[in-house]
Amino acid sequence: GGVVDAGLAGGYQTVVGGAGYVGDANVVLGGSVYDSAALAASQVQYAANAQGVYQDPNPQIIRRPNPNGVQTYTQNVRVQFLQPPPVPPPGPLIIKEVRPPQPPLPPPLRLRQVAPPLPPPPPLVLRERPPIPPPV
């Protein structure tokens, strides 16, 4: 079957049809009316999309002038300019100083000093005891 749509497109009545499908009403094909029961014997099943509209691989599209002439549509449009709500008054201004984090402390400073060498001691003089004087 195909999609049967009698709509208005640019002042022309458009009938889109295919092999037809079984329904309660008659089917319009090529300007002729056929009873859907007569088409049931030669019925071919087509896949339908999510909206339930049958997809015909070879649709028959017929365009003819609309008997009522060009259809003009009127649409009432109401434009309303909305204003945003008023801005609330500003609150108290708080300025807070944020300091960057301090860098880590450097490692402790280690000083290695070597004391200057001691001066050499004066030479050690070892003497004998003086001789005992003779008795007088």
Of 6-15, 45-54, 61-70, the range with the lowest mean pLDDT is 6-15
In the chain, where the domains are located = 5-65
Phi, psi of 36 (to 5 degrees): -70, -25
Q: Does the pLDDT value for residue 41 go beyond 90?
A: no
Chain centroid, CA 124 distance in Å: 97
Q: Has residue 19 got a pLDDT over 60?
A: no
In whole angstroms, what is the distance from residue 109 CA to residue 59 CA? 93
**Residue 38, pLDDT score:** 56
Whole-number pLDDT of residue 56: 83
The pLDDT score that the predictor gives to residue 79 is: 93
| Arithmetic mean of pLDDT, 80-99 | 92
Tell me the residue type at 67.
P
